[in-house]
A and B are shown apart, each in its own frame.
Chain A
Amino acid sequence: MHLVLRKLPWLIGTLLAVSFFTFLLVSLLPGDPAVMILGAGGVSPEAVAALRAELGLDRPLLVRYFDWLGSALTGDFGRSPMTGQSVMDAILSRLPVTIQLGVMAIIIALLLAVPLAMLSAYHAGSRLDRAISGLGFALMSIPSFMMAIFLILILAVSMNLFPATGWVPFSVSPAANLRSAALPALSLAMIELALYMRLLRTDLISTLQQDYITLARAKGVPNWQIMLRHALRPSSFSLMTVVGLQLGGVISGAIIIEEIFALPGVGRLLYQSILQRDLLMVQGIVLFIATAYVVVNFLVDLSYSLLDPRVRHAD
């Protein structure tokens, strides 16, 4: 618990900074939001000024920031001037899709990456190791949208195993929901998989050279048990960090994939809001993404103490 108290001020400070820069980012963009909303040509300056006053754009920057922050703290990010929808409601209604997608992708990636990395590290330098590393490189160099198109072609169009696009909510049909999420999650997972594999393989190889691994062998522990019990946990710090980063970044990571598969997620909402110059919506989503990122990483920091007793006792 000490750890939490010690890190909490940092968390709050970071979140404040993040919110300020998010606010600044959108405010500093060229172009007047009021002009954008009203349309560029043939609008009277009076109409623009009236809208600016209505949006509060005529007040000083800092005042506007604290005003915005105050409402944001109560969960009010304002209303989209385009659709009239509450920004928070829009995000919350789409969030489950994105979270499910991201979590599924990370689970698939971990389920494949951990055994492959262990196999690779155990046989480091062998042909098998090189084959697995080669596969990793190939997967890493394919952009996610290409991967998505490949997977659609093979698994949806040719083999007809999964739907090519669309989304079935979990509440409607769990089975159909998983089927509709499978391909997008797989597309995201393939790239994460390669990254996880490389990280874990490298750390495992250096762990396997530790004296305590030799001691475990000297105790007569079977090799698979050495990998699972003695080597995996001390080797998973980098992996944990990156999984945390990716979990925080699922929304931005899913932008393209959600668009390709026409999934009603936050990523697609952001993409469409950018296209429509819906600045308030963009601002809300960016702050949401950034907050998720910071909070998840805070949790990852805390989880190190579960992995390593030395961190736990550092107080």
Chain B
Amino acid sequence: MTDSQHQTQKLPLLRVEDLTVRLRGEAGIVHAVSDVSFQLQRGQTLGIVGESGSGKSVMARALMGLLPRRATQQLDGRVSLAVDGRVLELLKLSEREFRTLRGPRLAMVFQDPMTALNPVLTLGVQIAEPLQLHLGLNKAQAMARALELLAQVGIPDPEGRLRQYPHQLSGGMRQRVVIAIALACDPRVLLADEPTTALDVTVQRQVLDLLLALQRERQMGMVLITHDLGVVANRADHIAVMYAGRIVEYAPTSRLFSAMRHPYTEALFKSVPRLSDPSHTRLHAIPGRPPQLIDPAPGCAFAPRCPNVQQRCRRETPALTQAGDEHLHACFYPIGSREVGA
């Protein structure tokens, strides 16, 4: 990219470069995230899609500065967050500095609303806490604001709910509370880690639509993490497909669906059941098992399960390469290339 192009492009809200995370596990060092790079603009949604164990959640936690300190073997790369005209290097911040960003700058919605709320504190207290902490509101002001937030996330009778405890709410309602907590201090970046996976199907859509509406209204940058391509299909501006801790394909959403290049993306796509399929159509499953992230073998991590696999794939790890405007993939023999089947 030339200098002039660089200037015309807006300063990204969040820029991640070569993020690498290795964790100490019981069985060895887990290569959870390897060389992940992406950018997120204000008001945009990036969908990150991958199977469980692909490093999505670890990545989200790394961005939030929430990795378990003792278990973190390696945390490399650059994460730059644009805040009030300044650019903060998140990985270089002290724990104390990072803490002041969590809430007002970066916030996170967790996967399981049944376990994400403290069972012994009222919802009001849990929503008011970041407001008192970061915005310096007193208890009454914070509670008044918590009430507004509950109403904004679509909880009926918010006044009564403030004094209730998490166990008195359904899963969908709890997830709305988790979203209210995340939005309390008006964050610039929202990380939603499988925000609807633990919910009933009928509630999933409502919660996703709520997230999207709030994101547009507040012009947040959102990273929507999911294992389900269908969740991000109509909602994300860009999609990054993750496999074994790496981004294997990245493209604007419409382009990804019209011209996917990586065999793994295609396999994921095929494994989404469609209502338009005739009934009793066999669901396409990806053969083999998700990759081992402890002492990974050389070569492409998807090679053992890949329909297009060649000799080279087992020796070298393909780098993420440009395949057109804003479209990147990490495959030696992508879909549509001549060598496939040769």
Contact = CB atoms under 8 A, between A and B. Distances in A.
Contact of B167 (A210, A212, A216, A310): A310
Interface residues of A, number: 22
Contacts of B168: 313
Contacts of B119: 212, 234, 308-310
B115 A212 contact: yes
B110 A215 contact: yes
B129 A211 contact: no
Contact of B66 (A217, A234, A307): A217
Nearest to A216: B118
A9 interface: no
Contacts of A214: 61, 66, 110, 116
A151 to B, nearest CB: 37
Contacts, number: 75
Contacts of B64: 218
Nearest to A217: B66
B110 A219 contact: no
B147 interface: no
B70 A125 contact: yes
Interface in B119-143: 119-121, 129-130, 133-134
Interface in B169-201: 178, 181-182, 184
A214 B118 CA distance: 10
A215 B99 contact: no
B116 A212 contact: yes
A215 B119 CA distance: 13
A222 to B, nearest CB: 7
Contacts of B115: 210-212
Interface string A192-233: 000000000000000000111011111111100000011001
Contact of B181 (A215, A230, A233, A307): A215
A59 B165 CA distance: 59
A215 B102 contact: no
A307 B118 CA distance: 12
B117 A217 contact: no
A234 B117 CA distance: 12
- Of A229, A309, A313, most buried by chain B (CB within 10 Å of CB) is A309
Interface string B72-114: 0000000000000000000000000001111110011010100
Contacts of A308: 119-120
B99 A220 contact: yes
B133 A220 contact: yes
B130 A220 contact: yes
A219 B118 CA distance: 13
Interface in B226-243: none
Contacts of B181: 215, 219
Contacts of A212: 115-119
Contacts of A210: 115
Nearest to A210: B115
Nearest to A212: B118
Interface residues of B, number: 32
A221 B182 CA distance: 13
Contacts of B107: 218
A315 to B, nearest CB: 13
Contacts of A221: 99, 129-130, 133
A216 B133 CA distance: 12
A220 B110 CA distance: 15
A11 B104 CA distance: 52
A220 B133 CA distance: 8
Interface in B293-331: none
B102 A218 contact: yes
A307 B101 CA distance: 32
Contact of A310 (B100, B102, B165, B184): B165
A307 B165 CA distance: 12
A211 B118 CA distance: 9
Interface string B38-65: 0000000000000000000000010010
A253 to B, nearest CB: 30
Contact of A211 (B100, B112, B182): B112
Nearest to B182: A218
B129 A313 contact: no
A310 B169 CA distance: 12
A307 B103 contact: no
Nearest to B102: A220
A221 B178 CA distance: 15
Given A210-B115, A212-B118, A218 B108 contact: yes
B308 to A, nearest CB: 39
A308 B167 CA distance: 11
A238 to B, nearest CB: 15
A212 B116 CA distance: 4
A233 B184 CA distance: 24
A313 B112 CA distance: 22
B124 to A, nearest CB: 13
A229 B70 CA distance: 23
A181 to B, nearest CB: 34
Given A211-B112, A309-B119, A309-B120, A217 B165 contact: no
Given A211-B112, A214-B116, 19 more contacts: A125-B70, A212-B115, A212-B118, A212-B119, A215-B110, A216-B129, A217-B66, A218-B66, A218-B103, A218-B107, A219-B184, A220-B103, A220-B130, A221-B129, A229-B121, A234-B119, A234-B120, A308-B120, A313-B167
Interface of A: 125, 210-212, 214-222, 229-230, 233-234, 307-310, 313
Q: Which 10 A-B pairs have CB atoms at the shortest separation, nearest pair first?
A: A220-B102, A220-B103, A309-B165, A211-B115, A219-B130, A212-B118, A211-B116, A218-B108, A220-B99, A233-B120
16 contacts: A125-B70, A210-B115, A211-B116, A212-B119, A215-B108, A215-B110, A215-B118, A215-B178, A215-B181, A218-B66, A218-B110, A220-B130, A220-B134, A234-B118, A234-B119, A313-B165
